[in-house]
Amino acid sequence: MSDSVFSLPVRVYIEDTDAGGIVYYVNYLKFMERSRTEFLRQYGYDKPAILDGGQLLVVHRAEVDYKRSARLDDLLQVTTEIESLARTNVLFRQNIFRGNELLCAGLIRIACVSPATMKPCAMPLTMREKLAETIETDKS
């Protein structure tokens, strides 16, 4: 795994499972949200700091492939990396593994919007620059 790939361990609890004892499909998106949040936090951008800066980060698009099921008490690794970065949005590539087995793969586009208008706005330049470094590090 490259330095630009963030990994968050997630344990599956009973609250995450459905009546069949497997992780309910929407919970994979919750696991991905946690990993994206911690990925941004490591660069100094937690949710309150972003809001204090006059922006919101919202999910614009989610594309998810479910490959295998996770079960109660599984220890998962949720990986997050930046696939591409634009002035008003960022595309995250996220994968969920149990050991080396890929369970779920997602591409999640996050848009930067103004809280007042809910319309796209430019991501803070310092934030874009820090996030761009993760892409450049991976490609060098």
Residues 6+ apart with CB under 8 A from 140: none
Residue type, 60: H
Is 87 within 8 Å of 37 (Cβ atoms)?
Answer: no
Q: Is residue 46 annotated as part of the catalytic site, yes or no? A: no
Backbone φ and ψ for 116, nearest 5 degrees, come out as -70, -40
Catalytic site residue from 3, 16, 18, 138:
18
Say whether 85 sits in a helix, a strand or coil: strand
Nearest to 132 by CA among 4, 28, 16: 4
Sheet-wide strand order for 101-113: 6-11, 75-85, 89-98, 101-113, 56-66
Report the catalytic residues.
18
